[in-house]
């Protein structure tokens, strides 16, 4: 069993590394798929495992983009001048500046988002149930609106970043591996986290917060830690996206509340909430669904998406992994023991 | 920043500007209160938080707009939108909402969010993404040397909104169905035991909510503008109002609705029109924060 599992993970890892060479035309698509996987896994950390359904995780994605861009620009130039420059001034980045900016900016984005999750969480985690969802959604929308009025970071125009300095195809590969690396790290981290005491504690918060608190769990500390860990990965993903997209603007790209902000939730629900593999499977299925509808039903894609949300939530609530667990429990090592003389249920 | 301060000092120097802002805000706020009342109704009776509230409003607006394009008088659009949205609400209830009533709150939130996306997009495909409004050919009244202008169309809108609200309140108080709805809101199981068909009550409540929103939207299109994707802001406003006022508190809903209308106008005046959406959302966060602090106080006294 153990070797079987090792082989399975090794094969997946090998496919991850080889994918851009096997499917050279789909490098950007695969990179986006990894982005979906990252945001889905991190959403499930609080949403599925801890029972706090945030609709505002997109805040960390957008903030990550802006932090990464501002840090990269601020190393060699003045940010205010850069964002308000017209064609009369041209800013050139050297290769070192670009790669140092990518590394430092992305890490700074992760750290900043983790810290901001502590601050926002301290305020919003007092809200329960739907109030938490609406409150966090409000934070994300408000942040987008405020940033789009903030001239220092380019206002509604957004920010343009330098283009990848080498060959275009190499650039696509570069971003694929950045996303894939972050994704694998996020998955491995989540897998480890759920096996620790910490994982058990946040599951206890999900099941009954009052009882968990009565058992001596500092629920606020656990909630803040979990959210800030997930914000760290989302911030990094946002930072990488900023460099991959080259140009981004606040409302439609960075704080895209009704696009990625909802997609991540749908991915998790589709795959199965509160399971390790659910977000991954859900992200893959959702991304395929999205690309097919966006390509073949253009104009109706949002209707199809809304229908998918409604159908998933209302009729398919356990998600793909939950459904598999019901129909094929032996795949998950769950054995249903039947008493003698009784039919197995 | 200087601009904000200049706008602010203008308010202090010319008090009459305040009056104008408040009157504008209250006239819009009456419509917010109407859709918020519908939200509170559904929330209180069947514990469903309807995020498609604003999209019902916008859909009602488009019904009235489409009819006025056919040469039908816009005032007739209000009952037409009421009827059309009633049917839409009933269909949505039978297909989706009936299956999420008994489930956790996040489910209904997400399901109605999905409905909101579908409605907004269908409206976009049918009518295009331009902002639309109906211009009524009525005069404008001027007061205080022309500082304050009240278009009769807006006044008419407020009157219709009040009439609709009064009608709904009387219906809830005196009709058999209204009593059944209130009984179900108090205790659904007891109501079932006493022979009330709660499923029918739920269907009726949800359709009534959609119809109220639709009528409100038909008024919105006369006094303001609509666009397929403006729904979410209307929904957020409804949430702000209901969260601030609490469930089953009709005077509170009306007061909060008018207050939010006025506050939004103030925000737009001081910070500029670009911040209007942000002001609505920040008000929501503010209300949630105040509620949170109130709850903290209760918790402390229990310890």
Domain ranges of chain B: 2-302
Predicted pLDDT of residue B301: 44
Mutate to test the interface with A, among B53, B92, B106, B108 (most CBs of A within 10 A): B106
Asked if B277 and A145 come within 8 Å (Cβ–Cβ), the reply is yes
ipTM > 0.90?
A: no
What is the longest distance spanned by two Cα atoms in chain A? 87
Nearest-Cα distance to chain B for A139, in Å, is: 7
Contact state of A310 with B120 under an 8 Å Cβ cutoff: no
Taking the alpha carbons at both ends of chain B, their separation in whole angstroms is 45
Of A133, A146, A310, the CB nearest to B115: A310
Collapse the DSSP code of A182 into the 3-class scheme (helix H, G, I; strand E, B; otherwise coil) and give the result. Answer: helix
User: In a mutagenesis test of the A interface, which of B42, B114, B276, B296 is the best target, namely the one with the most A β-carbons within 10 Å?
Assistant: B114
A220 interfaces chain B, CB cutoff of 8 Å: no
Rg of the Cα atoms in chain B: 20
Query: Helix (H, G, I), strand (E, B), or coil: what is residue B151?
Result: strand
Among A143, A273, A313, the residue to mutate for chain B (most B Cβ within 10 A): A313
CA distance A303 to B122: 7
Residue among A256, A223, A242 nearest A123 (CA): A223
- DSSP percent split of chain B into helix, strand, coil, nearest 5: 80, 5, 15
Nearest to A303 among B100, B118, B292 (CB): B118
CB contacts < 8 A (A, B)? 106
Element (H, E) at B143: strand B140-143
Beta strands in A64-206 (DSSP E): 159-160
A310 closest CB neighbour out of B109, B114, B122: B114
Q: How far apart are CA B84 and CA A58, in angstroms?
A: 36
CA distance A155 to A149: 5
What are B143's strand-pairing partners? Answer: B148
Phi, psi (5° rounding) for residue B197? -80, 95
What is the spatial distance between Cα B118 and Cα B108, in angstroms, rounded to a whole number?
15
How many of the other CB atoms lie within 10 Å of CB of B191?
19
The partner residue sitting opposite A141, judged by closest CB among B120, B281, B291, is B281
Asked if residue B303 has pLDDT above 50, the reply is no
- Residues of B in Cβ contact (< 8 Å) with A130: 49, 105-106, 109
- pTM for the full model? 0.85
Q: In whole angstroms, give the CA distance from residue A157 to residue A148.
A: 8
Q: Which CATH number fits domain B2-302: 1.10.760, 2.30.29, 1.20.120, 1.10.3470?
A: 1.10.3470
B79 token code pair = 């009952």
How many CB atoms within 10 Å of residue A331?
9
Q: List CB contacts of A13: < 8 A, sequence separation 6 or more.
A: A184
Nearest residue to B149 via CA among B20, B43, B256 = B20
CA atoms within 13 Å, Cβ hemisphere of A136: 31
CB A27 within 8 Å of CB A20 = yes
Pairing outcome for strands B140-143 and B148-151: antiparallel
- Report d(CA A43, CA A54) in Å as an integer: 8
- Helix and strand numbers (H, E) in chain B are 13, 2
Tens of pLDDT, residue by residue, chain A (345 residues):
678 888 888 888 888 888 888 888 888 889 999 999 999 999 999 988 998 888 889 999 999 999 999 998 888 887 777 777 766 677 778 888 888 888 999 999 999 999 999 999 988 887 777 788 888 888 898 898 888 888 888 877 888 888 888 888 888 889 999 999 999 999 999 999 999 999 999 999 999 888 988 888 888 899 999 999 999 999 999 999 999 988 888 888 888 887 888 888 889 989 988 888 999 999 999 999 888 888 887 778 888 888 888 888 888 878 888 888 888 777 777 766 655 555 544
| CA-to-CA separations, A61 to A231, A235, A289, B87, B254, in angstroms, rounded | 8, 5, 22, 40, 37
Interface of B with A in 231-260 (CB under 8 A): 232, 236, 239, 243
φ/ψ of residue B250, rounded to 5: -65, -45
Contact criterion met (CB < 8 Å) for B107 and A141: no
Rg (CA), chain A: 21
How far is the alpha carbon of B293 from chain A, nearest alpha carbon, in Å?
A: 9
Chain A closest CA to B240's CA: distance in Å? 10
**CA proximity to A36, closest of A242, A261, A275:** A261
């Amino acid at each position: 069993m153990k070797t079987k599992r090792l082989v399975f993970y090794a094969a997946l890892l090998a496919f991850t590394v080889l994918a851009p060479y096997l499917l050279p035309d789909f490098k950007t698509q695969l990179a986006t798929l990894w982005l979906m996987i990252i945001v889905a896994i991190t959403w499930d950390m609080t949403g599925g495992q801890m029972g706090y359904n945030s609709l505002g995780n997109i805040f960390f994605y957008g903030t990550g983009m802006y932090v990464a861009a501002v840090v990269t620009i601020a190393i060699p130039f003045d940010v205010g001048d850069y964002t308000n420059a017209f064609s009369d001034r041209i800013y050139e980045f050297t290769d070192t500046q670009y790669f140092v900016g990518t590394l430092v900016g992305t890490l700074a984005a992760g750290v900043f988002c983790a810290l901001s999750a502590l601050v926002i969480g301290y305020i919003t985690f007092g809200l329960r149930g739907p109030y938490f969802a609406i409150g966090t959604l409000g934070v994300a929308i408000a942040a987008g609106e405020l940033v789009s009025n903030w001239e220092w970071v380019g206002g509604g125009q957004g920010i343009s970043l330098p283009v990848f300095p080498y060959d275009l195809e190499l650039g696509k590969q570069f971003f694929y591996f950045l996303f894939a690396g972050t994704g694998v790290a996020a998955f491995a981290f989540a897998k480890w986290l759920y096996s620790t005491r910490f994982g058990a504690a946040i599951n206890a918060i999900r099941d009954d917060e009052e009882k968990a608190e009565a058992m001596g769990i500092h629920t606020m500390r656990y909630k803040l830690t979990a959210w800030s860990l997930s914000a760290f990965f989302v911030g990094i993903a946002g930072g990488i996206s900023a460099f991959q997209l080259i140009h981004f603007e606040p409302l439609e790209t960075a704080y895209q509340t009704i696009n990625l902000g909802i997609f991540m939730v749908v991915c998790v629900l589709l795959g199965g909430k509160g399971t390790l593999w659910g977000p991954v499977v859900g992200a893959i299925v959702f991304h395929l669904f999205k690309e097919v509808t966006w390509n073949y039903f253009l104009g109706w894609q949002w209707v199809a998406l809304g229908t998918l949300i409604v159908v998933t939530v209302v009729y398919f609530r356990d998600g793909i992994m939950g459904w598999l667990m019901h129909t094929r429990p032996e795949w998950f090592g769950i054995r249903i023991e039947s008493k003698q003389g009784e039919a197995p249920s | 920043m200087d601009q904000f301060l200049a706008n602010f000092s203008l308010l202090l120097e010319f008090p009459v500007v305040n009056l104008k802002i408040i009157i504008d805000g209250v006239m819009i706020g009456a419509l917010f209160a109407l859709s918020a009342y519908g939200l509170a109704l559904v929330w209180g009776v069947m514990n469903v938080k309807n995020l498609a509230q604003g999209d019902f409003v916008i859909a009602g607006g488009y019904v009235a707009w489409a009819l006025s394009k056919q040469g039908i008088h816009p005032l007739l659009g209000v009952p037409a939108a009421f009827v059309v949205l009633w049917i839409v609400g009933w269909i949505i209830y039978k297909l989706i909402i009936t299956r999420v009533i008994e489930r956790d709150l996040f489910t209904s939130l997400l399901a109605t969010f999905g409905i909101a996306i579908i409605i907004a997009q269908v409206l976009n495909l049918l009518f295009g993404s331009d902002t639309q409004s109906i211009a009524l050919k009525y005069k404008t009244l001027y007061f205080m040397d022309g500082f304050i202008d009240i278009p009769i169309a807006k006044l008419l809108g407020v009157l219709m909104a009040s009439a609709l609200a009064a009608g709904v309140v009387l219906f809830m108080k005196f009709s058999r169905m209204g009593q059944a709805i209130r009984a179900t809101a108090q205790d659904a199981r007891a109501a079932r035991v006493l022979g009330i068909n709660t499923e029918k009550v739920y269907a009726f409540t949800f359709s009534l909510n959609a119809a109220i929103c639709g009528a409100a939207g038909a008024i919105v299109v006369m006094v303001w503008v609509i666009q397929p994707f403006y729904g979410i802001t209307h929904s957020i406003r409804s949430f702000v109002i209901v969260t601030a006022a609490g469930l089953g508190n009709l005077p509170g809903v009306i007061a909060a609705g008018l207050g939010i209308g006025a506050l939004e106008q103030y925000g737009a005046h001081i910070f500029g029109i670009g911040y209007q959406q942000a002001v609505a959302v920040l008000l929501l966060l503010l209300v949630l924060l105040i509620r949170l602090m109130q709850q903290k106080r209760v918790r402390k006294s229990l310890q």
